[in-house]
């Protein structure tokens, strides 16, 4: 079993705090001068270092050798904090979610008022402070208005807007943000090196994406992967990180845009990775790829990458792909995916070869040259090609079979997989398998308009 990385690697100094430059900039001068504001509000997402920063403040102020920005780390006080067993005279921590009743807050206020030993500062941490009841918050308010000497209150919360305005107005608010993926990856790589784990760059990136800016969760994912041998298996990427499939699909899109079939095939194999129920089905893989192609076409249409609501690595991969494509080619890829699903959904092919055929179709779209201009004899005007004529509305089974061949290939393939039950009085009734029905339903109006009749799917 791997160690508890979150506990072992908890930062002891402010300079070790990952991905929080604003918090470091605000706390640094206060710790250096040993003059910290009496009430700090540390607000931000989970796993970003709020409680850790409170402990750093206590360590820095109560170090017996070199109090300030760079505590020694070896004295009795520093070691006690490192073991998470500090003296209750210098550090108190209360979770408002489980211990925030009015009686407990009154007891906390009483303890805050007790004298502090010379040269020491009592740091009182109230985690998830937004969960305090109205009565408990009111009981705390008076003490926050007039804090006892050498006492620092640290209120930590993921929802600062839920705090009473009267409490929030008395705090120095220190914002915490999601830890950037690069900072998470750097810390995971350090831990892998320290503990001799064979962790590839792809695996590091997968964990960082799955953690979603929560460094504590990233370390938990690293810890719960099992044993060091688990990292030697490519399935770790999906078995542990889970949410990394979206990134793999985005990177697959980028590989196809670059025309790199071996790389695209490798990403496809990882996309299908996993064991048992964790292994993707072909339909799930097509769905993921379709979602990323949709986002790619949004980028090609001018939508900023910041509005895609995906992880930073996904947005970067899709943005790079968009630089290599034209809007027309992006739409052609989407059509290739749709028509391929229609053709392959019931085909007797394994998942990976089926996806490989789709990638080949997309790569062929990369190679399609622009249609040559029509040749013209010298001195004669160029005659543009005649547009395709309208599709004749079918009145019988033979006419139906002929008419659907003139539709867009993907739509024609879908209708070809359905059985024509009846065709009379301008109404075609079709019967289809559940998979074909699911894919055909959104395009019935398109088909009906093109063929000039109504279309229904039989129950």
DSSP string covering 146-191: SPPTTEEEEEEES-GGGS-HHHHTTSEEEE--PPPHHHHHHHHHHH
The bridge status of strand 454-457 relative to strand 427-431 is: parallel
Tokens of 338: 């749709």
For the full predicted model, state whether its pTM sits above 0.75. Answer: no
The residue assigned the tokens 């359905």 is 418
Distance from C-alpha of 389 to C-alpha of 95, rounded to nearest angstrom: 73
Give the list of residues 6+ apart from residue 304 with CB closer than 8 angstroms, or none: none
CA 346, 347, 351, 357: dihedral to nearest 10 degrees? -120
Give the list of residues 6+ apart from residue 446 with CB closer than 8 angstroms, or none: 411
**Residue 61 DSSP label:** H
Taking the CA of residue 303 as centre, how many other CA atoms within 13 Å lie in the half-sphere pointing to its CB? 15
Distance from C-alpha of 289 to C-alpha of 274, rounded to nearest angstrom: 17
Q: Which residues partner with 94 through β-bridges?
A: 126
Distance from C-alpha of 415 to C-alpha of 443, rounded to nearest angstrom: 10
Which string of b and e fits 212-235 if b means at least 16 CB within 10 Å?
A: bbbbbbbbbbbbebeeeebbeebe
Of 235, 293, 244, the residue nearest 269 (C-alpha): 235
Report residue 422: phi and psi, to 5°. Answer: -155, 155
Share of residues in the chain with pLDDT > 90 (%): 13
The bridge status of strand 122-127 relative to strand 151-157 is: parallel
The CA-CA-CA angle for residues 373, 379, 380, to 5°, reads 60
pLDDT at 243: 44
Q: What share of the chain is helix, strand, coil (3-state, %, to 5)?
A: 55, 10, 35
The CA-CA-CA angle for residues 176, 182, 184, to 5°, reads 65
Distance from C-alpha of 116 to C-alpha of 123, rounded to nearest angstrom: 11
Q: Determine contact, residues 225/191, Cβ cutoff 8 Å.
A: no
pLDDT at 435: 67
Q: Which helix (H) or strand (E) holds 331?
A: helix 327-344
Sheet strands (E) in 189-290 = none
Q: Determine contact, residues 113/89, Cβ cutoff 8 Å.
A: no
Length of the chain measured in residues: 459
Distance from C-alpha of 44 to C-alpha of 179, rounded to nearest angstrom: 10
In Å, how far from its chain's centre is CA 206? 10
State pLDDT tens for residues 235-270: 444 444 444 577 778 888 888 888 787 888 877 777
Of 233, 167, 163, 223, the residue nearest 192 (C-alpha): 223
CB count within 10 Å of CB 13 equals 14
Q: What is the pLDDT along the chain (459 residues), one digit of tens a residue?
A: 567 777 777 888 898 898 899 999 999 999 998 889 999 999 988 888 999 999 999 999 999 888 888 888 889 888 888 877 666 678 888 888 787 788 989 988 888 888 888 888 999 999 989 988 888 888 899 899 888 889 999 999 988 888 888 999 999 999 998 888 888 888 888 888 888 877 777 778 777 766 767 888 888 877 765 444 444 444 444 444 444 577 778 888 888 888 787 888 877 777 765 443 345 677 777 888 888 888 898 998 888 887 777 777 788 889 988 888 888 888 888 888 877 776 665 666 677 777 777 777 776 765 444 334 344 444 444 444 444 456 788 888 888 888 888 887 777 877 888 889 899 888 889 988 876 777 777 778 788 878 888 888 886
**Residue 368 DSSP label:** P
Give Rg (Cα) of the chain.
Answer: 31
Distances (CA, A) of 390 to 290, 397, 412, 414, 449: 30, 19, 15, 20, 11
Mapping DSSP to helix (H, G, I), strand (E, B) and coil, where does residue 248 land?
helix
């Amino acid at each position: 079993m791997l160690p508890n990385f979150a506990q072992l690697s908890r930062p002891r100094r402010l300079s070790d705090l990952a991905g929080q430059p604003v918090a470091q900039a605000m706390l640094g001068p206060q710790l250096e001068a040993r003059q910290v504001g009496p009430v700090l509000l540390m607000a931000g997402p989970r796993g970003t270092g709020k409680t850790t920063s409170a402990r750093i403040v206590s360590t820095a102020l109560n170090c017996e050798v070199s109090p300030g920005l760079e505590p020694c780390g070896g004295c009795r006080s520093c070691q006690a904090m490192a073991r998470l067993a500090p003296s209750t005279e210098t550090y108190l921590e209360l979770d408002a979610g489980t211990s925030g009743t009015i009686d407990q807050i009154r007891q906390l206020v009483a303890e805050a008022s007790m004298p502090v030993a010379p040269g020491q500062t009592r740091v009182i941490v109230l985690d998830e402070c937004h969960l305090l009841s109205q009565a408990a918050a009111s009981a705390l308010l008076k003490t926050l208005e007039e804090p006892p000497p050498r006492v620092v209150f640290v209120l930590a919360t993921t929802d600062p807007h839920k705090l009473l305005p009267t409490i929030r107005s008395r705090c120095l608010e220190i914002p915490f943000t999601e830890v950037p993926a690069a900072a998470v990856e750097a810390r995971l790589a350090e831990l892998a090196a320290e503990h001799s784990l064979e962790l590839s760059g792809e695996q590091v990136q997968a964990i960082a994406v799955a953690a979603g800016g929560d460094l504590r969760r990233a370390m938990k994912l690293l810890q719960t992967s099992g044993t060091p041998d688990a990292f030697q298996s490519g399935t770790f990427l999906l078995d542990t990180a889970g949410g990394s499939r979206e990134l793999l699909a985005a990177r697959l899109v980028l590989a196809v845009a670059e025309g790199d079939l071996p790389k695209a095939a490798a990403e496809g194999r990882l996309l299908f990775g996993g064991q048992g129920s964790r292994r993707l089905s072909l339909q799930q893989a097509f769905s993921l790829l379709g979602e990323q192609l949709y986002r790619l076409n949004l980028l090609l249409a001018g939508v900023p990458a910041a509005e895609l609501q995906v992880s930073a690595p996904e947005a970067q991969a899709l943005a790079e792909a968009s630089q290599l494509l034209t809007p027309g080619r992006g739409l052609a890829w989407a059509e290739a995916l749709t028509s391929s699903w229609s053709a392959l959904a019931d085909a007797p092919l394994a998942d990976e070869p089926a996806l490989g055929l789709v990638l080949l179709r997309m790569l062929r779209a990369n190679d399609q040259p622009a249609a040559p201009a029509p040749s013209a004899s010298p001195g004669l005007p160029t005659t543009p090609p005649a547009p395709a004529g309208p599709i004749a509305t079918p009145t019988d089974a033979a006419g139906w079979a002929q008419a659907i061949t003139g539709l867009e290939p993907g739509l024609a393939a879908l209708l070809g997989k359905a059985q024509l039950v009846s065709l009379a009085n301008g109404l075609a009734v079709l019967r289809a398998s559940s998979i074909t029905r699911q894919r055909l339903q959104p395009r019935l109006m398109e088909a009906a308009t093109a063929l000039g009749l109504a279309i229904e799917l039989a129950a």
